[in-house]
Amino acid sequence: MESLRDKYEVVIGLEVHAQLKTKSKIFAPDGTEFGKEPNSQTSPITLGMPGVLPVLNREVVNMGILTGLALNCEIPERCKFDRKQYFYPDLPKGYQISQYDEPICVNGYINIKGKRIGITRAHLEEDAGKLVHAGADGLAGSSYSLVDLNRAGTPLLEIVSEPDMRSSDEARAYMEELRNIVRYIGVCDGNLEEGSMRCDANISIMPKGSKTFGTRAEIKNVNSFSALQRAIEYEIDRQIEIVEEGGEVVQETRLWDDNARETKSMRGKEDAHDYRYFPEPDLMPLQISREWVQEIKDRMPELPEAKRQRYMGLGLSEYDASVIVEQMGLALFFDEVLKLGATPKIAVNFIMGEIAAYLKEEHIEITDTKLTPENLAELISLIEKNTISNNIGKQIIIDMMKTGEKASSIVEKRGLSQITDESAIKAVVQKVVDANPQQVEAYKGGKTQLLGFFVGQVMKETKGRANPKAVNDLLKEILG
């Protein structure tokens, strides 16, 4: 397969649905909270009863504009809603309100690893309900499915990329960056496992050097970044095999089965005309004034790319900057600590070191701990003033997370402050030298690597509290 791969070029375009974090639905006052009793958030509007009218939620539009701006899109002065007709048990109205030819965002892009990926458009739409199939949720053996319409009417922004990606790595990087963006601007929690962000991957292959794209298959049901990559890799091989055997790839929707590690045909792909789109007669076209767009632009927080650049300007490596930006909780905490004047390099070492390790071990977020930015900044200042050593800092940071206690109070209580007083250190150094005559002789005979042994002994005597530089200097002086 590897050598066959060289003959083909892969083309990928992603459609990503981001669930917008509004309190109420896109056209109805029902709540959007996850995990409520089935069918408890279902007004007549959500149920699609005859005679009810949708009313557009302004916050949905705000979030749509904010996302569009973050994705470098144009926000046209006018957009409109359309009906997309199809039958499905989780869609009692028989149609979904979406946007067809006049979406809220057009012509954008994002950069991944120095490459620009075009964004064709992003449009607002309502989500459908959920089917609970027999066998799931304690219905084992039953021969029916249940419909839960709580999710129906939840606002979605569908972000459609250009077919600009050429590998599963690029598709993953694009998806990860998109998730970073929607999370940082606060419009979506970006949780793939829970489905608040969903991705359909369109994949085709063509002979290397060709200008004409092949027929695409659309893969649904990928619930993680690694599943996305696996699904794409599988699909590339499947299509190459078909073409190598003289067959043709058919345009269809396929489902990824992450346990079986394969895609299966789900249905032939509809063309747009099959949906009989027409303008939604119950909603006016939406006029978006330039003032409205400007107002939202003014509220734009720092985007992930700018954050990474800023961190690199502070001396962080590109890798460290990316890793911290991926973990939004840690990045926001880091920013707070920086605002308090802490030295970036020391702060990042704590955050990406002891703190990140502890959070991972406990499966919690930084906000679940009692550590405050003020307390970390104070700890760092104690290290910089030589009140404590870096090592002592590493020892007490976990306690600070667990108890919320200030570094200075832990240091005082446990007598951890660094011994910087020369005469005190000198006394210990002398004691260690006197107690080890053999080593002293060897050292003087040229075995200078024994210096480490003496430093270790002094540190042991002082429980790690002696200032390391003073210890080194004094040892050299006394040992001659």
CB-CB contact of 263 with 254 (8 Å): yes
User: 228 or 392, CB closer to Mg ion?
Assistant: 228
Alpha helices in 1-137 (DSSP H): 2-5, 44-47, 58-70
Q: What residues pair up with 218 in beta bridges, in sequence order?
A: 202, 253
**43-69: buried (b, 16+ CB within 10 Å) or exposed (e) per residue?**
eebbbbeeebebebbebbbbbbbbbbb
d(CA 201, CA 233): 11
Number of Cβ within 10 Å of residue 440's Cβ equals 18
**By CB under 6 A, residue 405 contacts ligand ADP:** no
Partner that binds at residue 161, options Mg ion, ligand ADP, none, CB closer than 5 to 8 Å by kind: ligand ADP
Partner that binds at residue 321, options ligand ADP, Mg ion, none, CB closer than 5 to 8 Å by kind: none
Helix (H) or strand (E) holding 338: helix 328-339
CB-CB contact of 106 with 149 (8 Å): no
d(CA 139, CA 136): 5
**By CB under 6 A, residue 149 contacts ligand ADP:** no
| Strand pairing category for 252-257 and 217-222 | parallel
Among 32, 150, 161, 467, binds ligand ADP (CB under 6 A): 161
**CA-based nearest residue to 269, from 216, 201, 203, 198:** 216
What DSSP state is assigned to residue 137? T
Partner that binds at residue 11, options Mg ion, ligand ADP, none, CB closer than 5 to 8 Å by kind: ligand ADP
- Sketch the per residue contact string, 211 through 250, with ligand ADP: x for CB under 6 A, - otherwise: --xx-x-x--------------------------------
**In whole angstroms, how close is the CB of 234 to ligand ADP at the nearest point?**
15
Among 9, 90, 162, 189, binds ligand ADP (CB under 6 A): 162
Task: Output the residue with the shortest Cβ distance to ligand ADP.
Answer: 13
**In whole angstroms, how close is the CB of 162 to ligand ADP at the nearest point?**
5
Left (φ > 0), alpha (ψ -120 to 50) or beta: where does 107 sit? left
**In whole angstroms, how close is the CB of 71 to ligand ADP at the nearest point?**
14
User: 159 or 471, CB closer to ligand ADP?
Assistant: 159
**CA-based nearest residue to 105, from 77, 73, 78, 81:** 73
**By CB under 6 A, residue 202 contacts ligand ADP:** yes
Among 204, 327, 457, 467, binds ligand ADP (CB under 6 A): 204
Residues in 3-62 at the binding interface with Mg ion, rule: CB under 5 A: 15
**In whole angstroms, how close is the CB of 208 to ligand ADP at the nearest point?**
15
Partner that binds at residue 204, options Mg ion, ligand ADP, none, CB closer than 5 to 8 Å by kind: ligand ADP
Give, rounded to a whole angstrom, the gap between the first and last alpha carbons of the chain. Answer: 68
Tokens 């003033």 sit on residue:
385
**216-229: buried (b, 16+ CB within 10 Å) or exposed (e) per residue?**
bbbbbbbbebebbb
**By CB under 6 A, residue 160 contacts ligand ADP:** yes
**In whole angstroms, how close is the CB of 221 to Mg ion at the nearest point?**
13
Partner that binds at residue 163, options ligand ADP, Mg ion, none, CB closer than 5 to 8 Å by kind: ligand ADP
**By CB under 6 A, residue 14 contacts ligand ADP:** yes
User: 25 or 123, CB closer to ligand ADP?
Assistant: 123
**In whole angstroms, how close is the CB of 288 to ligand ADP at the nearest point?**
22
Residues within the interface to ligand ADP (CB under 6 A): 11-15, 160-163, 202-204, 213-214, 216, 218
Residues within the interface to Mg ion (CB under 5 A): 15
